[in-house]
Amino acid sequence: MKTFWKALGIAALAAVVPVRFKKNEETGKKTFQSLLWKLDVTPNPDHSSTQIDLALMEGVVTGPIFNAISAKKEAALFADDEPDAAVVAADEAQMAADEAQMAADEAQAAADEAIEADFDPEF
């Protein structure tokens, strides 16, 4: 059990401690990124205050995962709704075959009625 708590503590520490640091020399923006979060520190041009932005789920590990998920959802939104020409032609051919089968069934039913009408049981 002791090794479990050690592993859990190391994992929690690894998720909290920043593993990447970027600094933009022109704007003075500093970006700290850990496995689970990203922190942006941006000073205002007049140096009177600093803007701090914390973005959870944009870390080294979680960022690519959520980007892939959102890209997949976005691709589904912009998918073409028009079916292929081959699919449309196959559907039309199937509908024509179904209509022909219904016409053949009606003709067979009419022929069966005609045979029954001509049948004389006393003959």
Beta strand ranges found along 1-123 (DSSP E): 20-23, 30-33, 37-43, 50-56
pLDDT one-digit tens code per residue, 66-111: 888 888 887 777 766 665 677 777 788 888 888 888 888 888 887 7
* Angle, alpha carbons 26-28-29 (nearest 5°): 115
Q: Which pLDDT value is given to residue 66? A: 80
Cα 64 to Cα 38: distance, rounded to the nearest angstrom: 13
Provide the whole-model pTM. Answer: 0.50
Cα 7 to Cα 97: distance, rounded to the nearest angstrom: 67
- Work out whether the CA dihedral 15, 18, 19, 21 comes out positive or negative: positive
